[in-house]
Structure 1
Amino acid sequence: MTATKARISKFRPSLSLQLTIIGFIITISCVLIALLAPSLQSWGWLQNPTESLINPIHQPPSSEYWFGTTRQGYDVFSRTLFGTQAALKVVILATSLSLVIGVPLGLVSGYLGGKMDKVLLFLMDTIYTLPGLLLSVTLAFVVGKGVFNAAIALSIAYVPQYYRLVRNHTTSVKTELFIEAAQAMGAPTSRILSRYLFFNVIQSVPVLFTLNAADAILILGGLGFLGLGLPPEIPEWGHDLRLALDALPTGIWWPATFPGLAMTVMVTGLSLVGEGLSEIINPKMRRSRND
C-alpha cells in the first residue's frame, strides 16, 4: 500500500501546475464566451446589450434576468458577457502592437549597440518610469475613444518592457560562439538577427505577453471608468462600473458586482497562466520555490 501511494503521489501534479491548468481553463472559457456571445444573442438566448429594456429598471437578479438590470434598463448578464469580447479585442491588439514594436527594437538595439542603442535605451527607460495608467490616460486624451485608439493608448506603456527584455537577452547572447562563427562566415546582420538571435531571446516573451494582457484589462477598466476607453455604445466593464457607482449607496449592488467579478476572474486566469509559463521557461525558479 505504501509503495502504491508513493507511485500515486509521484504522478500527482504540483500546486503550481494545478493553478496553471486552472488559469488556462479560465482564459479559454473567456475566449469562448467572447466568441459565442454574438451567436447567443442571435439565437435569442441573450438580450441586446445596447438596447434598453425600459420597464425592468434596477431589477435584482432573477430567473428572467440572471444578473439583474441597470438603471438604464440594460441586461447586466448580456453586458457582462459582451464586455469579455470588448476586453479581449483591445487587450490582444494592444499587447500584439507592443510586442511587434518592442521585440525588433530590442533585437536591433542590443545587437548593434552604439548611439542608437543609447538613445533608444534612454527613451524606453523614460517611458518605463511613467505609471501605466497615467500614461494610458494621457494618450487616451490625445487619440480619443475607440477599440484601436484604446489599444494604442495601452500598447505604448508596454513597448519598453519588451524592448528591455529582448535587448538584455540579445546583449548576452551576441557574445556566444555560434554568433561569432556566423559573423566570421560573413552572415548578413538580418540573417543573424532573424535566424540565430531571435529564437534564442524570445523564450520569455510569452510570459510577458500574458502578464501584460492581465495588466491591460485593469488599465482598460480604469480608462472606461474615467470615460476615456471605448464609446458608450460598446459594452465595457469599466464603463459599466462607472454607471453603477451612484446606485451602490442605495443597496443596488448587482450592476457593479458582476462586471467587477468578470474583470477579476479574467485577470486572475491570465496571471495564473503567466506565472505557470514563467516556471516552465525558468526551471530554476520552480526549484527554488520547492526547496
Structure 2
Amino acid sequence: MAVTRSPLPQFLRLSKTSSLSQRLMLIGLVITVFFILIALLAPLLQSIGLLQNPTESLSNPIHVPPSEKYWFGTSRQGYDVFSRTLFGAQAALQVVILATSLSMLVGVPLGMVSGYVGGRWDKALLFLMDSIYTIPGLLLSVTLAFIVGRGILNAAIAISIAYIPQYYRVVRNHTVSVKTEVFVEAAQAIGANTWQVLSKYLFFNVIQSVPVLFTLNAADAILVLGGLGFLGLGLPPEVPEWGHDLKLALQALPTGIWWTALFPGLAMTLMVVGLSLFGEGLNEIINPRLRQQR
C-alpha cells in the first residue's frame, strides 16, 4: 500500500493575512532584530573603544546625568548606563535563547511521544505537566534559582522548567488529533515503527503552534529574568543585566537619579513589546480562524 503524506503544515504555506497583522509582525521583527544586533555588536564596539567597559567605574563624582560624554549618564557605582544597557541586551538574549530552546527541546518530544503512545505513560506525564503548569512561572523560577544558583545557564534552566508544560500540552493535543489521520494509519499498516511515524508523518503536522509559543515565551522569559535579577537571583552582580540594574536604580531614585532606571527599564519594555508583537502577528498568520474572526 502506498503511503500518501499529508500536505505541508499550515504555518509553512503562504497565506494572505490582514495588513494589521503584517504591520505588527514587521514592527516586532524590526525591534527584535535591533536588539539582536545590539547584543552582537556590543563586545565589538567595546573592543574598538566606542563603548565603555560596563563593569568599570568611570565617573567622578560617582553619578553623572546624561551628557555628551555619558549619553545615558552613570550610576551611583560609577558605571556607564549606556554601556550596561547595551550589554544587558546580550545577557537577556543569551538567557532567553537558552531557556526557550531547552523548554522546546524537552516539551515537544515529550508531547509527541505521550500523545502517540497514550496509556499510563500519557496519563502520568499529563498529570506531571498539569501540576507544573499550576505553579506561577515566576514563583517556580525563583524557587529553582535558589536551588541551582546564579549564572547564565542556571538562570536559563530555572526559567525553562516553567515553559515545558506549554509545549507539551500543545504538541500532545495536536498529536492526539493527527494520529488518527489516514496517512498515519497507512504508515502503521505498512510496518512503520514508532520513530518513523513520529519523525516522518507527525512532526511537521503537530509543531505549527511552536514558533508562536517560542516568541511569546521569549518575551515572558525577559520579564522573568528581570524579576530574578531584581531579587538578586539571576546573573552574578558583575554581569550587566537589566533586572539587577533596576534593583540598584530603585535605591537611587529617592535621590533624584532617574536615568539609571529609565534606560534599562525602557530597553526591557521595548524588547518584550517587539517579541510580543512578532509572536501575535505570527499567530494570526498560522491560525486562519483568527483572521476569519477579525
* Mapping for residues 238-249 of structure 1, pairs under 5 Å: 238-249=243-254
Q: State the partner residue of 2:191.
A: 186
Counterpart of 2:75?
A: 70
In 1, the alpha carbon distance for the partners of 2:188 and 2:25 equals 41
What is the CA deviation profile of residues 63-102 of structure 1, one whole-angstrom value per residue up to 9, with x for unaligned ones? Answer: 1100000000000000000000000000000000000000
* C-alpha separation in 2, matches of 1:72 and 1:146: 22
**Considering only aligned residues, what root-mean-square deviation do their CA atoms show, in Å?**
1.2
SS in 2 for 1:88: helix
| Cα contact 1:214–1:267 (8 A) shared by 2 | yes
Amino acid at match of 2:284: E
Range with greater deviation from structure 2 (78-87 or 279-288)? 279-288
Instruction: Tell me, in whole angstroms, the C-alpha distance in 2 between the residues paired with 1:24 and 1:130.
Output: 31
Kindly indicate whether the alpha-carbon contact (under 8 Å) linking 2:38 and 2:90 is maintained by their aligned counterparts in 1.
Answer: yes
1:90 to 95, 116, 119: 95
Mapped contact 1:146–1:230 kept (Cα < 8 A): yes
Residue of structure 1 aligned with 2:51, choices 31, 39, 46: 46
Gaps of 5+ in 1: 1-10
Residues 115, 176 of structure 2: 8 Å contact kept = yes
Partner deviation per Cα, 1:129-188 (whole Å, 9 max, x = no partner)? 100000000000000000000000000000000000000000000011111111111101
Q: Secondary structure of the equivalent of 1:53?
A: coil
Q: Partners in 1 of 2:127 and 2:25 — Cα distance?
A: 36
What is the TM-score normalised by the length of structure 1?
0.94
Instruction: Name the CA distance, whole Å, in 1 between partners of 2:134 and 2:169.
Output: 13
The reply to whether residue 105 of structure 1 matches residue 110 of structure 2 is yes
CA contact (8 A) 1:26 1:265 kept: yes
Amino acid at match of 2:21: S
- Cα distance in 2, alignment partners of residues 145 and 26 from structure 1: 28
- Which of 277, 284, 290 pairs up with 1:272? 277
Map 1:1-291 to 2 at 5 A: 14-289=19-294
Structure 2 equivalent of residue 5 of structure 1:
none
Query: In structure 2, what is the Cα distance between the partners aligned to 1:56 and 1:97?
Result: 44
| SS of structure 2 residue aligned to 1:51 | coil
Q: Which runs of 4+ in 1 moved over 6 A?
A: none
> Cα gap change, 1:39/1:56 in structure 2, threshold over 3 Å: closer, same or farther?
farther
Overall identity of the aligned pairs, in %: 77
Question: What amino acid does structure 2 have at the position aligned with 1:187?
Answer: A
Task: Please list the CA deviations of residues 83-127 of structure 1 after superposition, one character each: whole Å capped at 9, or x if unmatched.
Answer: 000000000000000000000000000000010100000000000
Matches of 2:141 and 2:254 in 1, distance apart?
30
Deviation at 1:287, TM superposition (A): 2.1
Change (3 A) 1:124 1:195: same
Counterpart position of 1:8: none
> CA shift at 1:54, angstroms?
4.5
CA distance in 2, matches of 1:54, 1:262: 23
Q: Secondary structure at the match of 1:108?
A: helix
Displacement of 1:16 in angstroms is 2.0
Q: Deviations over 1:183-203 (max 9, x none)?
A: 111101100000100010011
Residue type at the aligned position of 2:276: S
1:283 is displaced (CA, Å) by: 1.7
The farther-off stretch of 111-120 and 248-257 is: 248-257
Relative contact order, CA 8 A, sep 6+: which one is greater? 2
Which sits farther off after the overlay, 17-26 or 71-80?
17-26
Q: Which runs of 5+ in 2 are unaligned?
A: 1-15
Aligned residue identity for 1:151? A
Whichever structure has more helix as a proportion of its residues is 1
Q: Measure the CA separation in 1 of the matches of 2:20 and 2:170.
A: 28
